[in-house]
Structure 1
Amino acid sequence: MPEITHRTVETNGIQLHIAEAGEGPLVLLLHGWPESWYSWRHQLHALAAAGYHAVAPDVRGYGRSDKPGAVEAYSLKNLLADFVGLLDVLGERTAVVVGHDWGAAMAWTCAALHPDRFRAVVGMSVPHLGRTPMPPTQLFKHMFGDRWFYILYFQEPGVAEAELEADVPRTMRTLLAGVPGFDTTAEVVRTRKKGDSFLTGIETPATLPAWLTEDDLAHIVKELQGSGFRGGLNRYRNMDRDWAELPELATVRIEQPALFMVGEKDPARAFAPVDLMKPLVPNLQEVLVIPGAGHWLQQECAAEVSAALLAFLKRLPT
């Protein structure tokens, strides 16, 4: 099995920790919330074994990467500059960018705004929806009214941090193995009221699913105990700023070859319709719905995701 190695590099004025494996064409793997490079552990091995240079950074705010204090430090503009700079550090003109959850939004935006650097794109769980007709928090207030919605709950600095960091092992066991607080279809989430929190009413499972070992969970918990949740939550607090700073996302098309993957049971499907992205991604080659999978796609169905990634990569022009 190819070895995963670790180093820290400087890009865009910050220190970014990366995990990497293999040699060959560069594949950049961007994680979501609240994760780290570790969510790509299976794909790092699979891509390296197939002749690719797979690189998974801890996105700023996570793991062993820098964690700037300012909310605005987590805007998409800053994050994209991190990744373009990472390509420069690695000595690569182009890469295929793959992202899951918030990493998918980053990957789509990398492809949209830097087509000369990202030659193909894969998004998981979150489709490319361009630019909403109004600032996102206004849209969510319009959509959800008085109902509880996790992104609005995350907006006030310090509130969600206090809840999620109070007992990180419980938070992550509940989030990964139980009903996630972002599942707007779950009864326990749908019936929440103002003043409720992300974990209100959700039971913490005693046993883990087959795809997640106790050792995996312990690793994830240790990383989040070290980094805290503030950096990841600040990404949500930049949604309106991104809307104002990147108006070109309303019309720019992603012309590169693209693939979208989503779990059949992913709660994000309830409020992120795939069909809306098709006019903006005309070279979308496939929408792959993986049966039985939930939100943590590349971990839950590691073999299927790796196989789909490799099939997509092999179809790309050299």
Structure 2
Amino acid sequence: MLVPIGAGTTISLTDAGHGPAVVLLHGWPVTALHWRHVVPVLLRAGYRTIEVEARGLGDASSGRGGHAKATLADEVLAALDAIGVRRFAVVGHDVGATIALLMAAAQPGRVAAIAVEEEVSPGIEVEAHESDSYPSWHLPLFTAPEGVAERLLAGRLDATVDAYLGGSAGPAGLDFDAHVGYMSAYATDDRLASTLALYRSAQEDAVAVRRAVRRRLPMPGLAIAGRFGRGGQVAEALAHSVSRVHSVVARDAGHYPAEEAPDAVNGALIPFLRAA
């Protein structure tokens, strides 16, 4: 469904099931398809799932404005207000996890628990791990001075997204249909501006995150990582944000554990939510 939240902004979300609410926020360059192995398990366990597409991520939410993650967090909270969701757990992947963290910091009384999948938020420093295979070439490319990245990537975003998906997934790779679906959602020139904007807000995001975690947040946290992704960095980063951290590292996964190792992710996520 498309939820208008004012100022010409509309947030796309899928609301299913009954019970305690779990908000799911995917990152770049994936869509809500990322949660296809998680949502059915949550529904069977008695949860209400709300898959939210933050503006600039996926291909349905729309509106003008910057892409600082604090702004996107406010928009997601407004969408939840609009559908009457007061208290919830939140699961965020990649950029979606930074949005989730800033939601939790902005309104900690609403967030029962936070799970972070494959994200080290800007502003949080962790040790480098030589074994990490997570690609980093996209960061300097997307944050090149305005005009430079546009000239380099115009007409080539498809190859860029394809290379990133292939490299970040690790040896196992993504399902072919998912890979194709993500390419369809992101790999056209009309998505270039929003893609670059998501990364060019990194300094502003870092300031917001450092302010948010000045004191650790009260809710428990679950770090979800892939051995061929961010690995132990995810739990290390989350420990800067919350006092109680649980962790699962999927042995064969890259940057997409919920897709590449759903049994490991669900096996950690359901007990974590039940204990929250």
Q: Per the shorter chain, which TM-score range?
A: 0.7 to 0.9
Residue 108 of structure 2: aligned partner: 115
Kindly name which structure, 1 or 2, has the bigger radius of gyration based on alpha carbons: 1
Contact 1:34 1:229 survives alignment (8 Å): no
Instruction: State the distance in 2 between where 1:9 and 1:288 align.
Output: 33
Instruction: State the distance in 1 between where 2:202 and 2:85 align.
Output: 30
Higher mean Cα deviation, 50-59 or 224-233? 224-233
Seen in structure 2, the aligned counterparts of structure 1 residues 64 and 41 have a Cα distance that, compared at 3 Å, is: same
* Cα deviations by residue, 1:219-268 (Å, 9 ceiling, x for unpaired): 222222566133233121112123445652351211101111111111x3
Shift in Å at residue 66 of structure 1? 0.4
Paired AA for residue 46 in structure 2? G
Correspondent of 1:304 among 260, 264, 273: 264
Paired AA for residue 223 in structure 2? F
Instruction: State the distance in 2 between where 1:58 and 1:280 align.
Output: 23
Instruction: State the distance in 1 between where 2:240 and 2:164 align.
Output: 33
Shift in Å at residue 169 of structure 1? 5.1
Correspondent of 1:232 among 170, 189, 195: 195
Q: CA RMSD in A?
A: 2.9
Residue 175 of structure 1: aligned partner: 164
* Cα deviations by residue, 1:25-56 (Å, 9 ceiling, x for unpaired): 11111111112212112212221222111111
Paired AA for residue 152 in structure 1? P
Correspondent of 1:222 among 184, 193, 196: 184
Correspondent of 1:43 among 23, 32, 38: 38
Residue 99 of structure 1: aligned partner: 92
Instruction: State the distance in 2 between where 1:94 and 1:25 align.
Output: 8
- Does structure 1 residue 282 correspond to structure 2 residue 243? yes
Seen in structure 2, the aligned counterparts of structure 1 residues 113 and 96 have a Cα distance that, compared at 3 Å, is: same
Contact 1:26 1:52 survives alignment (8 Å): yes
Residue 117 of structure 2: aligned partner: 124
Paired AA for residue 298 in structure 1? A
- Does structure 1 residue 32 correspond to structure 2 residue 54? no
Seen in structure 2, the aligned counterparts of structure 1 residues 277 and 305 have a Cα distance that, compared at 3 Å, is: closer
TM-score under structure 1 length normalisation: 0.72
SS at match of 1:74: coil
Structure 1 unmatched runs, 5+? 1-6, 133-147, 184-207
Instruction: State the distance in 1 between where 2:208 and 2:97 align.
Output: 19
Seen in structure 2, the aligned counterparts of structure 1 residues 153 and 119 have a Cα distance that, compared at 3 Å, is: same
Contact 2:10 2:63 survives alignment (8 Å): no
SS at match of 1:261: strand
Shift in Å at residue 79 of structure 1? 0.8
Shift in Å at residue 97 of structure 1? 0.6
The alignment covers a number of residue pairs equal to 262
TM-score under structure 2 length normalisation: 0.82
Residue 253 of structure 1: aligned partner: 216
Structure 2 unmatched runs, 5+? 126-135
SS at match of 1:253: coil
Paired AA for residue 62 in structure 2? D
* Cα deviations by residue, 1:137-162 (Å, 9 ceiling, x for unpaired): xxxxxxxxxxx853232123454456
Seen in structure 2, the aligned counterparts of structure 1 residues 39 and 111 have a Cα distance that, compared at 3 Å, is: same
* Sequence identity percentage: 26
Seen in structure 2, the aligned counterparts of structure 1 residues 303 and 248 have a Cα distance that, compared at 3 Å, is: same
Paired AA for residue 65 in structure 1? S
Seen in structure 2, the aligned counterparts of structure 1 residues 129 and 312 have a Cα distance that, compared at 3 Å, is: farther
Instruction: State the distance in 2 between where 1:10 and 1:85 align.
Output: 9
Shift in Å at residue 217 of structure 1? 2.7
Instruction: State the distance in 2 between where 1:245 and 1:276 align.
Output: 15
Correspondent of 2:138 among 133, 139, 150: 150
Seen in structure 2, the aligned counterparts of structure 1 residues 161 and 17 have a Cα distance that, compared at 3 Å, is: farther
Contact 1:121 1:256 survives alignment (8 Å): yes
Shift in Å at residue 67 of structure 1? 4.7
SS at match of 2:84: coil
Instruction: State the distance in 1 between where 2:263 and 2:243 align.
Output: 28
Shift in Å at residue 282 of structure 1? 0.9
